[in-house]
Amino acid sequence: MERMQARPFDISRHLTARRLEQEVENRTAYTIDAAELNIYETQHVAEKVELTFNSPVLASMIRGKKVMHLPHAPSFEFLPGESVIVPSQETMCIDFPEAQTENPTQCLALAIDVDRVRQVTNLLNERMPLIDSAAGWQFGQTNFFLTNDEPIYQLIARLIHVFTEDNRAKDIIANLVLQELLVRLMQTQARTLLLSPNTAYLNINRLAHVAQYIAKNLHRNLPIKELADEACMSEPTFYRTFKQTFGLTPVDYINQQRLDLSARLLRTTAYGLADISLQSGFNNLTYFMRLFRRKTGLSPTEYRRQVR
């Protein structure tokens, strides 16, 4: 699994107020009516530490490394920049292979009230139902691992700030941020499922088919009308449905896939930038370089030098 370079969450306000009473999974909790933010800190190596919550949980790494053991899933290293959704009543078994007093492992666990989750999923299923999916929008039914993208990072960071500040309107503000976070997490989960090469959706879901079609044709121009025809929809319906489900416009999604391809070519081939730009579907080298820098913070040449 390729790891992103993580940007740390700011928990400075929490650190000034928290009291360390135990060395393994010392917990500080911040509570609103619909959720509880738990920040854990571990200061020495430990194995098989168990945690269970009564509500669905979004766990995100802040610092250090854990090894997570979840039911019905292979064990995995859990690093900053990554999150995992864990269903209610499911036990997380956790190892801390590197925790030290001078280098503690820090993690947050956001437990979200089941009724609040149901309100948001019902709203999505009513106003923007998933296409070709009888189950509809869901959150917290199964384990789901993700790398935090920029919107999810910003929302988690905002929640940390709101939960730890002294503000009488904390519940109102946090609930607004929480609703957006739930929507974006469900969009990420739906997008991941539809893009899985092994998913059964490939033959029955029109957006899964379109995503596969895009992947096979990244090297050429892909008009919205062509994609809408592949999905057997009108252009306006396709555009709206795609954005609601993927959390991106079709153009933004295509550019994201092309940039991912170009990054892979930069890492694994010696092709020149002009060739990589064309193979990735960018006919304009300047436009490609501008988008690449916007996404990675590096020029293609700087990126290649850094990863090879």
The per-residue pLDDT for range 151-160, each reduced to its tens digit, is: 999 999 999 9
Q: The pTM is what?
A: 0.84
d(CA 237, CA 235): 6
Predicted confidence at residue 25, as pLDDT, reads 79
pLDDT at residue 20, as a whole number: 64
User: How many percent of the chain have pLDDT more than 70?
Assistant: 94
- Residue-wise over 52-81: b if at least 16 C-beta within 10 A, else e? ebebbbbbbbbbbebebbbeeeeeeebbbb
Q: Does residue 210 surpass a pLDDT of 70?
A: yes
Taking all residues of the chain, what is their mean pLDDT, rounded to a whole number? 91
Model confidence pLDDT, tens digit, residues 42-96: 999 999 999 999 999 999 999 999 999 999 889 999 999 999 999 999 999 999 9
pLDDT in tens, 240-277: 999 999 999 999 999 999 999 999 999 999 999 999 99
| pLDDT at res. 245 | 92
Task: Give me the long-range contacts of 205-214 (CB less than 8 A, separation at least 24).
Answer: 205/131, 205/132, 205/133, 206/131, 206/132, 206/230, 206/231, 206/232, 206/233, 207/131, 207/132, 207/231, 207/241, 207/242, 207/245, 207/246, 210/242, 214/253, 214/254, 214/257
Q: How far apart are CA 84 and CA 78, in angstroms?
A: 9
> Domains in the chain and their CATH numbers?
12-195 (2.60.120.280), 197-308 (1.10.10.60)
CA angle 32, 79, 18 (to 5 degrees): 40
> What does the pLDDT read at residue 96?
96
At residue 199, the pLDDT reads 59
**Could you tell me which residue, 203 or 299, shows the higher pLDDT?**
299
Check residue 2 and give its pLDDT. Answer: 47
Query: How long, in residues, is the chain?
Result: 308
